[in-house]
Structure 1
Amino acid sequence: MTERRIILEMGTGNDLYGGDYTKAACRAVQDALHHSSIVLFKSLGYDHREMRVQVTIGVQEPDRVDVDVVTAELPRGRADVNVVHGGLNVHDPDNDTTHVIATAAIAALLPIDPAQWRLSTGGGA
């Protein structure tokens, strides 16, 4: 059985005043999650525990993200969180603060046997 990506969602999050990379990453994950509704689990009888969730977080300082905290944001599936260099820091020299902007990509994968699926050749409802 081949694992196939069934959804890919993106999100952004920020921490404008605290410089907290984990908070920005969690907000990016929540933003991505709020863009999706995976109804196929109920519609097709899949158990959401079969789903593997690949999360990639981009921030300017990846080592400052607590991966366990970000992983806890995911309500379904078996999560794998990877933090990479990306995102954006915007420094405000007048107030000596750095605004942290994180990006997130969340991919949901299911073990799917392609032989069980076929394209419909007929039309009509």
Structure 2
Amino acid sequence: MSDQRFIIEMGMGNDLHGMDYQKAAERAIEDAIRHSTLPIFQSTAIPLETMRVTVTVGVQDPAALDCAALAKRLPRGRAEVHAVLGGQNVTNPETGETIVIATAAVEAFLPYQGAAWK
């Protein structure tokens, strides 16, 4: 049987000055993972390396993201990051400065564990 998603968390991050999509994406991912804890690994013999982590980050300029660098920042599991069109750019009409807002969905998957649970 294929992997099963056992957690999904959402986060939001921004860069108020500098229009740095990478910084906003890093903050969105950090926001999402700070909303969760995975006691399953402390309570079972499941190795952390079996967890697959998929992150989808939405920004207005997906090509501006270094997805490999974002994946390296994830603390657990085998991670992959995908950039998609999303988030928001909000421009201050008085200064012309643009605030970058990124959103992130962090999903964690494990191989099917049904036979291991009673």
TM-score scaled to structure 1, two decimals?
0.89
Residue 78 of structure 2 corresponds to: 78
Match in the other structure for 2:64: 64
SS of residue paired to 1:2: coil
The 4+ residue runs of structure 1 with deviation greater than 4 A are: none
Percent identity reads 50
3-state DSSP class of the match of 2:32?
A: helix
Aligned equivalent of 1:123: none
Alignment of 1:47-58 (within 5 A): 47-58=47-58
Q: Tell which structure's C-alpha radius of gyration is larger.
A: 1
User: What's the RMSD between the two structures over aligned residues?
Assistant: 1.1
Q: How does 1:1-125 map to 2 (within 5 A)?
A: 1-118=1-118
**Deviation at residue 44 of structure 1 after TM alignment:** 1.3
Q: Is the 8 A contact 2:21 2:65 kept in 1?
A: yes
Stretches of structure 2 that go unaligned for 5 or more consecutive residues are none
SS in 1 for 2:73: coil
- Report what 1:122 is aligned to: none
TM-score (norm. length: structure 2) = 0.94
* TM-superposed deviation, 1:92: 0.9
